[in-house]
Amino acid sequence: MFTPLETRLTELRQRVRRALFVNGVSWLITVFVGSIAVIGMADWLFRFSDSGVRLILSLTVVATTAYVAYRRLIAPLLVQLNDLDLALRIERLHPELKDSLASTVQFLKHDIDPALGSPELQQQVVDETSKHLQNVDFDEVVQTRNVKRIMLAATAVCLATAVLVGLNRADASIAFKRMVLPLSDTNWPKQTQLRILGDDFQSVHSPETPLRIAIGETLTLHIDNARGGLPDNGTIYFRFPDQQETSQQLSAQSITDREEQPRDVFVSSLLVLEGPIQFRVEAGDDLEMPWFTIEAVVPPNLKDLQITLTPPEYLGLPSVDLPAGTGHVDGLLGTTVTTKARADKPLADAHLHVYEQSQPLVLGPEGLTFGAEFTIAQPGNSTYWLAFRDREGHDSGQSRHYELRGIEDRVPEIEITDPTTNLRVTAVAKIPLRMVAKDDFGLKGIRLVYHTGPQSVTENEAEVDATEPQLVSIFNDSTRPQHQSATFEFDLSTLDLKPGDTITLHAEATDAFDLGEEHVGKSLPRIFTIVTSEEKQQELADRQADIMADLELAQKQQDAAHQQVRQLQIQLNEAGELRPQDIDTLQQTEMTQRRAAQKLSDAETGVRQRAQQLLNDIRDNAIDDPKTTGRMTKLDEELKRLGQDNLPQIEEDLTAVRKREQSKVANDTTQTGSPQKSAETTAEQQQALERAGKNQQIVSESLNAALKEMAQWRTHRDLAGDLEQLVESQQKLNQEAEKLSKQTLTKLPSELTKQEQTDLQRLGERQRQAAKRLDQLKSKVEETLKSSAEKDSTESQLLEEVTEQFQEQSTAANMREAARQLQKNDVGAAMQNQRELLKQLRNLQDTLHNRRQTETAEMVKKLKQEEQKLAELKDRQAELMRKIEKAQDLQDPEERQQELKKLAKEQQQLREEAQQMTRRLRRLQIQKGRDATARAADRQQQAAEQLNKDDPIAAAEQAQEALDDMEQAQRELAQQRREAEEQLAQEQLEKIADELRAMIPRQQGVIDETARLQGRYSEQGKWSRGTLRSLIGLTEVQRGLQSETEKLRETLTAAEVFALALKGAARDMDRAAVRLSERQADETTQRHAMRAKQRFLDLVEALKPDERDPQNKQNPQQQGPGPGGAQGGPPTDGIPQLAQLKVLKSMQSDLRERTMELATEMEAADEITPANRQALQDLALEQTELADLTRNLTKITAAAEEEPVEEEPATEDPVGEEDVLELKQ
């Protein structure tokens, strides 16, 4: 009999077990059904083809289900729940029971056993507990929340699985079978079913039907998926006849089919060269495509091909059969191409494709032969081909293309090779013309076309029209040569021409071309301008002057090469061998000799060629000038003889000497040469140099003789240039003699080494050559004086003065004496002699230099005059332009015609003035502007012609062109005038700079000798008799330089800054000389001498143009040719203000350094010495002079330019006058 409490506990136990059962079953359903669904979905997505994987997954499901069944269902149900366990669970939920329920259950289980205590008390507990439990709900003990959740999960899994199964029962069934029976052959249906598409993208190839393609063709396969989208990648496998297999990776491509629809396909290409070939494709899950077969079929081919070319009829050439089988065609335009062909199998059709057109061809009876014919109609490269198909549908493919090149019959080419330029000729000239023509297929004829311009129209003369073009047939031959030269003597005397007329001509060449417009090749035109005989003679005189200039240049080059050969001869004769550096000298000599020979004998620009051209012009223009003819004829014959007999031998000998020396050096390096062989080589070199020297002497004498006859074209500019080169050469000789003296001065002749003796001999020979060149210069001066005595009195006076200086100074004799002294090792006397020689040469240079400045100033004046005349002429031309424009608006024809004739007359007058200006510019040898004025005159002539033709529009165009040419001439004349002004200013500066520059090496010599003597004194401890003599001589030299410096300062009194700088240099020289006279050559003396030299260096540097700023170049706007160096500025003896400011800056910097040095010295000393006090007074005086000069120069410059000028030296000076005065105190 159960109590109510026990009954309630029993019911509670049953409810707990039901909850555990439902929970376990729900878990089991969720895990099992969910696992089956997930694995099935995975298998459906990823297609687990490996049965082992499926087996593992199935076993995993079974194991998981078993585990969940045990863990969640079996194990909980096996647990025995007694009343005590339930009571304890209830007490945990209701703490207020305080273990009474558990006690009650124990009491009831033992039927209130007295052994457990008082029965009454036990009963009382049972009653109280039962009473209290009436308000307790045992359902709270069973927590069903998690059970409900898992039940919902199981329901959801079952519903989801049911939905999936319902949507695709077949796939669900397959998935379940593959899961339940993983080792079975149950497979998923394939997603990819590959197929080989036909060319139309519609048909599908079958594996049973082979694909047929011609050998040599490329098979293109297109593969798609019959079941939908194509996989991204795939693989195609090929199996060739030799059973070799290859594979190719495929990628999906989107292409457009014939219906313009995009298709995703795999594309694979294969060049078929043999067969059969098998292939298959794998992609996605389609891995079982059967093998397809490709059969290679031999395509139709040409068996025979014969092409015949028939040239155009006008060529008169026969047809030509190309070699059998040749399909490439090169032919002239108009050539007919006939093709005959045979195929190796019967054809269904054939076509000719040429020039983007298709022409069907007629087949022979058996379908094997066919022919085609077409004409080459387009120039350049193209192709043609024969396309044909056999009766099985296989075509010939693209291998039957042939090259087709159309060749144009080019227009003949012709040029006038003589004359090469436009000419100025007389009215009776006979001009030899030479024309050279060529044509690729033969010339038909050559003709000359010319027309003349009208003569000047006077007021009383009728209008004369320009002549119509005249044709003169020169060559006409049916032989059709491809190259032809023709000559023609154009006799102008038959044309009744007058000065100012023009003849314009060109040559024409024709061929036999008749398929279109006539082929006429034209040469560049030549324009012959008629001039008077006097004008032509003036032109010839100018050309003779140019010839003389080039002849002089060649003579200088020849003399330079001769001098180098003499130096090499001395080296060989004295030293017995050449030095390594003499190989370079030999090469330089060869180059110099080659340049001289080229200047004389060049076929295009040589002196001889130009002399021949001048002779031809004298003959062609009927100029009666027997002197010039004889002179040029003699020059031509002499240069011809030199070019045949002497010049080639010189070059041959020089080359032989160089090669022998190079071979000798190579043998010495490798130690393969013998002394005997070396001696033989030296002897051969001596003989070759002797021959070369003799031939050079002959050439030099011949050139001097020719120049003597052309002395009338020599100007004092040429003489000044020769003298300048001679001065530079003497300076170099002086420097080398001084350098050599340091090695030989203290040695006796017997103590000299072989090379030192050789160097002395070479230096003496060079001095002797300088004397020879001076004699030549003297002869040139005398010859020029003789030829110019009646032409220019000023020029004659200058040359007479130079001649007198030559006679008074005996400079050449002194040069020879210096040469003898050098070769005798009397270097001291030679150096003194050389210094005097240089002084004499500078005196000569000053004479010519001053004249050059005068001539430049005269040129500036003449250029300004021509500029003014040209400006007036241009204004008149512009006024005429306006008149022509007004005449165009005249309505009355007669009035307009009269006005145009009047304007034509004015235009002719302007033309004559332009020609006169051109002639004046030519006489003045002004190149710039001359060509432009000549062109303007030609334009004016054409404008006058158009006005006479009643064509004011064309006349206005020509007049405008003439005006433009005048503007260009004006610009060019202005530019040349500016260049002349700059040259004048530069010449003034160069004269000053040359005088200053000459002082520097002489002062450096004093410094070097002072240091040398001090070194001797330090070594010996006393002054020896020899060193005392040298010291006395050095003192005299320093005094002499001081005297020259003071004289130079007196000539530059207007340039106060330069005068002050030279005053300081003279002061330093005086102090150095005083100390030298007191036998003091120490550092203080050297410092004074070096300070004087530095003054000269600063002055020379200040006179250099500022390369950093091109605007510092002198121009007439800033530093004109006047004596002040700047227009309106203070007189500065031609020295620019900028140069003086530079000197101020350098002087201030020097003064600052000296002041700081003195301050340092005084701070280190305990007292101020008398020397320090004197130095302070000197510094104060110099600073005062410099400050006053700076202020004066700044005020004068500012007043001249009407703008403030910064006192640059004063602002840069950190140690000013006040600082020096403070030091004094």
Task: Please say which residue of 372, 407, 442 terminates a domain.
Answer: 407
pLDDT, position 852? 52
Residue 265 sits in the same domain as residue 146: no
Confidence class for position 713, pLDDT limits 50, 70, 90: low
Q: Assess whether pLDDT exceeds 70 at residue 988.
A: no
Residue 383 sits in the same domain as residue 470: no
Tell me how far apart the alpha carbons of residues 224 and 266 are, in angstroms, rounded to a whole number.
Answer: 6
Identify which has the larger pLDDT, 698 or 548.
Answer: 698
Q: Assess whether pLDDT exceeds 60 at residue 917.
A: yes
Q: Assess whether pLDDT exceeds 70 at residue 662.
A: yes
pLDDT, position 1124? 39
Contacts of 384 (CB under 8 A, 6+ apart): 329, 352, 353, 354, 355, 374, 401, 402, 404
| DSSP 3-state of 118 | coil
**CATH assignment at residue 461:** 2.60.40
Residue 637 sits in the same domain as residue 552: yes
Task: Please say which residue of 930, 951, 979 terminates a domain.
Answer: 979
Q: Assess whether pLDDT exceeds 60 at residue 398.
A: no
Q: Assess whether pLDDT exceeds 60 at residue 1208.
A: no
Contacts of 105 (CB under 8 A, 6+ apart): 5, 9, 83, 84, 87
pLDDT, position 505? 92
Residue 258 sits in the same domain as residue 325: no
**Domain contains 102:** no
Q: What distance, in Å, lies between the first and last C-alpha atoms of the chain?
A: 147
Residue 280 sits in the same domain as residue 307: no
Tell me how far apart the alpha carbons of residues 945 and 964 are, in angstroms, rounded to a whole number.
Answer: 19
Q: Assess whether pLDDT exceeds 80 at residue 539.
A: yes
Residue 308 sits in the same domain as residue 279: no
Give the orientation angle of helix 169-180 with respect to helix 4-46, to 10 degrees. 100
Q: If we measure between CA atoms, which residue out of 1150, 1132, 1144 comes closest to residue 1206?
A: 1144
Task: Give how far the C-alpha of residue 1032 lies from the chain's centroid of Cα atoms, to the nearest Å.
Answer: 62
Out of 114-118, 833-837, 869-873, least confident range = 114-118
pLDDT averaged over every residue in the chain: 81
Average pLDDT over residues 375-389: 89
**CATH assignment at residue 230:** 2.60.40.10
Query: CA angle, 1039 as apex, 1038 and 1042 as ends, to 5°?
Result: 90
Residue 705 sits in the same domain as residue 603: yes
pLDDT, position 900? 87
pLDDT, position 152? 92
pLDDT, position 850? 55
Q: Are 533 and 427 in contact (CB under 8 A)?
A: no
- For 291-319, the pLDDT digits (tens) are 999 988 888 888 889 999 999 988 888 99
Out of 188-197, 262-271, 789-798, least confident range = 789-798
Out of 355-369, 828-842, 1104-1118, least confident range = 1104-1118
Amino acid at the residue 234: G
DSSP label at residue 644: I
**Domain contains 1051:** no
Average pLDDT over residues 968-985: 80
Place of tokens 């204004």: 875
Q: If we measure between CA atoms, which residue out of 982, 971, 895, 892 comes closest to residue 931?
A: 971
Confidence class for position 797, pLDDT limits 50, 70, 90: low
**Domain contains 1150:** yes
DSSP label at residue 646: I
CA distances to 25, 587, 631, 677, 803 from 668, in Å: 116, 20, 53, 11, 54
State the DSSP string of 423-435.
EEE-TT-EEEEEE
Selection from 560-569, 711-720, 1019-1028 with the highest mean pLDDT = 560-569
Q: Assess whether pLDDT exceeds 70 at residue 1214.
A: no
Identify which has the larger pLDDT, 744 or 529.
Answer: 529
Q: Assess whether pLDDT exceeds 60 at residue 825.
A: yes
| Phi-psi domain of 553 (left: phi exceeds 0; alpha: psi -120 through 50; beta: other) | alpha
Q: Assess whether pLDDT exceeds 60 at residue 986.
A: yes
Residue 161 sits in the same domain as residue 76: yes
Report which secondary-structure segment, H or E, holds 293. Answer: strand 292-297
Place of tokens 């795939």: 234
Please count the structural domains in the chain.
Answer: 7
Residue 62 sits in the same domain as residue 162: yes
pLDDT, position 716? 54
pLDDT, position 425? 92
Confidence class for position 1218, pLDDT limits 50, 70, 90: very low
Q: Assess whether pLDDT exceeds 90 at residue 433.
A: yes
Give the orientation angle of helix 1056-1077 with respect to helix 952-1020, to 10 degrees. 20
Q: Are 968 and 936 in contact (CB under 8 A)?
A: no
pLDDT, position 10? 77
Q: Taking the CB of residue 813, how many other CB atoms lie within 10 A of it?
A: 12
pLDDT, position 626? 87
Average pLDDT over residues 1088-1101: 86
Q: Assess whether pLDDT exceeds 60 at residue 416.
A: yes
pLDDT, position 1206? 39
Task: Give how far the C-alpha of residue 411 lies from the chain's centroid of Cα atoms, to the nearest Å.
Answer: 37
Give me the half-sphere count of Cα atoms (radius 13 Å) on the Cβ side of residue 307: 21
pLDDT, position 1225? 40
Q: Assess whether pLDDT exceeds 70 at residue 1115.
A: no
pLDDT, position 1199? 53
pLDDT, position 114? 75
Average pLDDT over residues 1093-1107: 77
Confidence class for position 510, pLDDT limits 50, 70, 90: very high
**Domain contains 790:** no
| pTM as predicted | 0.47
Tell me how far apart the alpha carbons of residues 1003 and 297 are, in angstroms, rounded to a whole number.
Answer: 104
Q: Assess whether pLDDT exceeds 60 at residue 1190.
A: yes
Amino acid at the residue 855: E
pLDDT, position 669? 65
> Which stretches of 1078-1136 are DSSP H helices?
1083-1103
Q: Are 735 and 838 in contact (CB under 8 A)?
A: no
Identify which has the larger pLDDT, 87 or 316.
Answer: 316
Residue 937 sits in the same domain as residue 878: yes
Task: Please say which residue of 407, 441, 473 terminates a domain.
Answer: 407
Q: Assess whether pLDDT exceeds 70 at residue 56.
A: yes
Range of the domain at 385: 302-407
| DSSP 3-state of 237 | strand
Out of 60-64, 266-270, 409-413, 662-666, least confident range = 662-666
Q: Assess whether pLDDT exceeds 80 at residue 799.
A: no
- For 540-597, the pLDDT digits (tens) are 888 888 888 888 889 888 888 988 888 888 888 888 888 888 888 888 998 999 999 9
Q: If we measure between CA atoms, which residue out of 1068, 1073, 1035 comes closest to residue 1182?
A: 1068
Q: If we measure between CA atoms, which residue out of 254, 255, 245, 256 comes closest to residue 282?
A: 245
- For 604-654, the pLDDT digits (tens) are 889 999 899 889 999 999 888 888 888 889 989 999 999 899 999 999 999
Q: Are 993 and 1103 in contact (CB under 8 A)?
A: yes
Tell me how far apart the alpha carbons of residues 858 and 840 are, in angstroms, rounded to a whole number.
Answer: 28
Tell me how far apart the alpha carbons of residues 686 and 569 are, in angstroms, rounded to a whole number.
Answer: 7
Q: If we measure between CA atoms, which residue out of 41, 117, 146, 133 comes closest to residue 83?
A: 133
Average pLDDT over residues 762-782: 83
Tell me how far apart the alpha carbons of residues 441 and 455 are, in angstroms, rounded to a whole number.
Answer: 43
**Domain contains 259:** yes
> Which stretches of 576-646 are DSSP H helices?
581-601, 607-620, 626-641
Cross-strand bridge partners of residue 309 = 320, 337
Amino acid at the residue 848: L
Residue 397 sits in the same domain as residue 544: no
Cross-strand bridge partners of residue 247 = 237
Q: Omega into 276 within 30° of 0, i.e. cis?
A: yes
As a whole-number percent, the residues of the chain with pLDDT over 70 amount to 86
Amino acid at the residue 33: V
Identify which has the larger pLDDT, 37 or 928.
Answer: 37
- For 471-497, the pLDDT digits (tens) are 888 888 778 898 999 999 999 988 888
Confidence class for position 281, pLDDT limits 50, 70, 90: very high
Report which secondary-structure segment, H or E, holds 271. Answer: strand 262-271
As a whole-number percent, the residues of the chain with pLDDT over 90 amount to 14
Confidence class for position 137, pLDDT limits 50, 70, 90: low
pLDDT, position 777? 80
Q: Assess whether pLDDT exceeds 90 at residue 413.
A: yes
**Domain contains 705:** yes
Confidence class for position 923, pLDDT limits 50, 70, 90: low
Average pLDDT over residues 868-875: 90
Residue 438 sits in the same domain as residue 324: no
Contacts of 1065 (CB under 8 A, 6+ apart): 1045, 1091, 1092, 1095, 1096
Selection from 342-356, 539-553, 982-996 with the highest mean pLDDT = 342-356
- CA-atom Rg of the chain in angstroms: 59
**Domain contains 1168:** yes
- For 157-188, the pLDDT digits (tens) are 999 989 888 888 878 888 888 888 888 777 77
Report which secondary-structure segment, H or E, holds 551. Answer: helix 533-575
**Domain contains 120:** no
Q: What is the 3-state secondary structure (H, E, C) of 879-891?
A: HHHHHHHHHHCCC
Burial class of residue 860 in the structure, from the number of CB atoms within 10 Å of its CB (0-12 exposed, 13-18 middle, 19+ buried): buried
Confidence class for position 1109, pLDDT limits 50, 70, 90: very low
